[in-house]
Structure 1
Amino acid sequence: MKNIKSFRILIMGRANAGKTTILQRVCNSTDKPEIFDGKGNKVYARHLDECFQRGYHDIEHELVFGSNPGFVFHDSCGFEGGSAQQFDHMRNFVVHCATASSVKQRIHAIWFCIPMTENCRTVTAAEQKFFNECDTGHVPVIVLLTKVDALNLDATQELEEEEGLEVEEAEEKIAKKERKLLEKWLAHIKHELNKCKFPPRGYLPLEKMDQSNADCNALMQCTANVLNEESLQRLLISTQQSSITLCVEYAVEK
């Protein structure tokens, strides 16, 4: 494990789930990552910017941010409307990287994003297919509820329909309603996915990730908690740059 210099994460889920934004926040960057082919060769794509805008990624490519090269990311394009061939390619990649003989090539964690902008379809057939058919072995999967701030509008609309809003109480009522909606959808997602053959190891709502100073401490802590090897926990904690406090807390606990 001493020779492992990078913590490798697969981020996946629907298109437009905010995946690239999460990676940027984790690495404290506003830049797009450099892309490598897995052999150390940089990938130069003629329409790379367009690919990023539309969420077209080769899952086998490695995404590395200059601000924190200790993280290596793989990004799966949204497969909810994809073909069976695309799903099989993704599943084969996951199984291969979860069981690779070389620890350096293994995926250490998977972040599966479900956006709250589509809470009317929080758990689709695509999510159920993944968690019923993709055995990730010892690699933990964490479901990330992204774009949680979109629930603010839902909360406002529901309150207006139910009772109207008085200006002086509006902010407090909306915040309370928003929390209830988040609890409701989180409970629903847990109920549905925990019934699957290979359920997630953890769940985490992410808020305010559109802000440059977004706090990634909870994401790092949640990921560390579900890892089943202390050496991987140490690697993650040392790689993340979100919080010195987290490093200190982990060192004290161990």
Structure 2
Amino acid sequence: MSVSTGSQPTVPKIQINYIELSNIKHLESAELQISGHRHILHRKDKTLRAEFIDLTLHEQCCLRISYKKQFIGLRKKRSDEYVTLNLREILSAANEKEFVQIHNKTRIVLGITIHGQTDSRGGVLPTGNEQLQPTTGEILERCPRFRILVIGKTGVGKSSLIQHAFGVEGDLVSHDRPGDAHIDEAFISPRNERFVLHDSKGFEPGEGGNLSTVKEFIQRRRQMRDLKDQLHAVWLCFEIPWADGRLLEAGVEEFLRSKNDILRDIPLVLLFTKYDMLVERVCDDMEKEHDSKVMDDSDVKLQVESKLDALCIKPIEELTGRRDIPYIPVSNEEGYENSLVKLVELTYKHVSKHVAEEASVVTAMAQRVDPKSKIVESIAVGKKRYWKALAASPNFEGHTMWDCFHVIHTDIVTIWNFHDTSGHLKSNEFRALIVNMVGDVQTRTITNPVKILMGGGSFIVAIAAAVGALAGPAAPIVVPIAACAVVAVWAYEVYEQSRVVQQRFMAYIVDLTHVMEILLIILAGNNHSPLTRRAIKLAFNSYYNSPIRAKVHDKIQNYRGSGISRGRDAILEMIESMMKPIPNDTTNLFQNRTLDVNLDQDEDW
């Protein structure tokens, strides 16, 4: 691809004079890989070293390290590792003339000379990366967490609901023991930094004082100036009663009658818990009535809905005189996971409608069961700045493609909010995987669309195929594009307005989003555990080998649209059309958590 520089700054050239590795006690050999060429490092005293006369670095490079053989049981094992040397980080060391990186106690030193634009001190001028700040950074500065109040009596099941919906520790809520909940205490789990919980023990019989406590707390939070301190939603939990049971206690009735004065614009969602027990009771009654004959699922569903209406919905409508209070029946039991997805969707919908937009973004970030709201907010955040008019974006002028991808990548990964304690999703290795996958948009042979659709359109199928390709549950996962591979040359060219650039940006955004979507599916029911590279690689392989990726890339390659036309951003519309959540059978989705593959163990890229 030709690059029209015009008045744009040129990308500085990096000349490598030498590379030296010290503290190499366990190392057998090493080689520097650049642009497909291998440069062997030789032993010199207690180091491994190579010197160069005219070696220019135009792109990210890779160091391959081979360790000495070690006895594992009765076998000798020799392992290799790849260390990515990042171009941007090397440029930042221009003033020191040496770039230093530590890997597993081995010290890696590059002697460098930078040719290109310099500042008054002789250092290399930045290529503008400082100005490409993630949009999510500004949002999180105003509202870093989704703040929710959950009200419910002892034993109603709040702990499990919170754990599963937000992927946090099981003991986050106050163990459902009377007297343990303190409404002013903010519970923040280290497993999900985008979520903060206030827990109320509910309006127990004979404890009228708690209603006053809840009302005063909500009023204080409502009057706080900063969005981050305000309440963004309230869940009021009820256990679905038996036929002769009472749904509403006196305190709950008073709260609901005066909810408009208490809450104002704070969204309230009513949760009818232990829905599975209602279904079980209805099935038992119908079996007795029909003499144990097999019942049609649709008949059972109608009967359950009728019971729910009589036991829960009508009493509240009669009390409040309103039919527009959002409600949802939920259960934490296996087979009812879709009720949690619907709960999150309902909460997100009303937060988006009644609270400032930053709160709706962090609501989508905080939850870990619903891919749809995360995709919606990824698009909304992208529209704010970097996705708008990609064909002629003033934000990207003077920046390399790698830098432009970098800021878009950070925004998307931040919204998906996995429990990524090691930062794998923001690592250069994972970014390189996505960049290299994007590169085939211009080189691939266009597939017959009919053939693509015949292959199946579900990520569930793609995940099962990726798991089936493994030699065993603990076998290493090998990605089609090596994570250590040198990033394509075009990624370090300066951004320009061209159809090829448009296509690559579209592919990067859509590919990364669908990999995140698959990762959420894979981790369903286990998203409170720290994220591993093994899980990421399985998600990457599932998408890379799926007919969905082939369809996306073919559609992008065939794209002939332009930027802004009659007030419409054709590129953005194209991206949105390809980012719609892939339909999946939700039951099968959550059954994938029992796949015979260990995702808790980690492995190299």
User: How does the TM-score come out when normalised to structure 1?
Assistant: 0.78
The residue type equivalent to 1:27 in the other structure is: F
2:264 to 115, 137, 160: 137
Counterparts in 2 of 1:235 and 1:217: CA distance versus 1, 3 Å:
same
The answer to whether 1:74 aligns with 2:198 is yes
Select 1:152's aligned residue among 258, 271, 279.
279
Secondary structure class of the residue paired with 1:168: coil
- % identical equivalent positions: 20
Aligned 8 A contact 1:141 1:200 in 2: no
Q: Which secondary structure state, in structure 1, belongs to the residue aligned with residue 279 of structure 2?
A: helix
Instruction: Mark the CA change 1:127 to 1:180 in structure 2 (over 3 Å): closer, same or farther.
Output: same
Structure 1's 249 and 19: CA in aligned 2 closer, same or farther, altered over 3 A? same
Q: 1:76: how far off?
A: 0.3
- For residue 112 of structure 1, what is the aligned residue in structure 2? 236
Trace 1:23-42 onto structure 2 (pairs within 5 A): 23-29=162-168, 31-33=170-172
8 Å Cα contact 1:10/1:73 also seen in 2? yes
Give the CA deviation at 1:173: 5.0
**Structure 2 match to 1:10:** 149
After superposition, what is the alpha-carbon deviation per residue over 1:86-141, rounded to whole angstroms, capped at 9, x for unaligned?
32122111111122223222111000011114562123322211112451122111
Mapped to 1, the partners of 2:162 and 2:305 lie a distance apart of 25
Aligned length in residues: 234
Per-residue deviation at 1:166? Answer: 2.7
Q: Distance in 2 between matches of 1:64 and 1:165?
A: 51
In structure 2, the residue matched to 1:243 is 370
Unpaired runs of 5+ in structure 2?
1-138, 384-605
User: Which amino acid counterpart does residue 123 of structure 1 have in structure 2?
Assistant: L
Could you list the runs of 5+ residues in structure 1 that have no partner in the other structure?
36-50
CA contact (8 A) 2:169 2:191 kept: no
Distance 1:18 1:193, change over 3 A: farther
Higher-Rg member (1/2): 2
Kept in 1: contact 2:221–2:231 (CA 8 A):
yes
Asked whether the equivalents of residues 11 and 111 of structure 1 are also in contact (C-alpha less than 8 Å), the reply is yes
- Asked whether 1:187 is paired with 2:313, we answer yes
Cα deviations by residue, 1:8-35 (Å, 9 ceiling, x for unpaired): 00000222111111111112245312x8
Give the distance between the partners of 1:116 and 1:213, measured in 2 at CA.
15
Contact 1:140–1:200 under 8 Å retained in 2: no
Q: Report deviation, 1:237.
A: 1.2
**Pairwise CA distance, 1:146:** 1.0
Partner residue in 1 for 2:60: none
Shift of 1:7: 0.6
Cα distance in 1 for residues equivalent to 2:209 and 2:184? 15
Within the candidate set 121, 135, 146, 2:246 is matched to 121
Pick aligned residue for 2:207 from 83, 92, 107:
83
Q: Is the 8 A contact 1:148 1:182 kept in 2?
A: no
The TM-score with structure 2 as length reference comes to 0.35
Q: Which of 203, 217, 220 is the equivalent residue of 2:327?
A: 203
Q: Which moved more, 1:92-101 or 1:114-123?
A: 114-123
The CA RMSD over aligned residues, in Å, is: 2.9
The residue number in structure 2 matching 1:99 is 223
Give distance in 2, aligned partners of 1:172 and 1:244: 28
Q: Tell me what 1:42 maps to.
A: none
Give yes or no for contact 2:211–2:251 (8 Å, CA) kept in 1: no
Q: With a CA cutoff of 8 Å and minimum separation of 6, indicate the structure with the bigger relative contact order.
A: 1
Contact 1:5 1:70 in 2 (8 A): yes
More moved, 102-111 vs 120-129:
120-129
State the alpha-carbon separation in 2 of the partners of residues 97 and 200 from structure 1.
24
Aligned counterparts of 2:269 and 2:217: Cα–Cα separation in 1: 18
What is residue 39 of structure 1 aligned with on the other side? none
Deviation digits for residues 180-221 of structure 1 (CA, Å, limit 9, x no counterpart):
32243343144135327xx974111113x1349934321221
Aligned in 2, Cα 1:146/1:213: closer, same or farther, shift over 3 Å?
closer
Contact conserved, 2:348 with 2:360, CA < 8 A, in 1? yes
Pairing 1:193-232 to 2, within 5 Å after superposition: 193-195=319-321, 201-207=325-331, 209-211=332-334, 214-215=337-338, 216-227=340-351, 228=354, 229-232=356-359
Report whether the alignment pairs 1:178 with 2:304: yes
Task: Give, as a single letter, the amino acid of the residue that structure 2 aligns with 1:240.
Answer: Q
Shift, 1:175, TM fit: 4.6
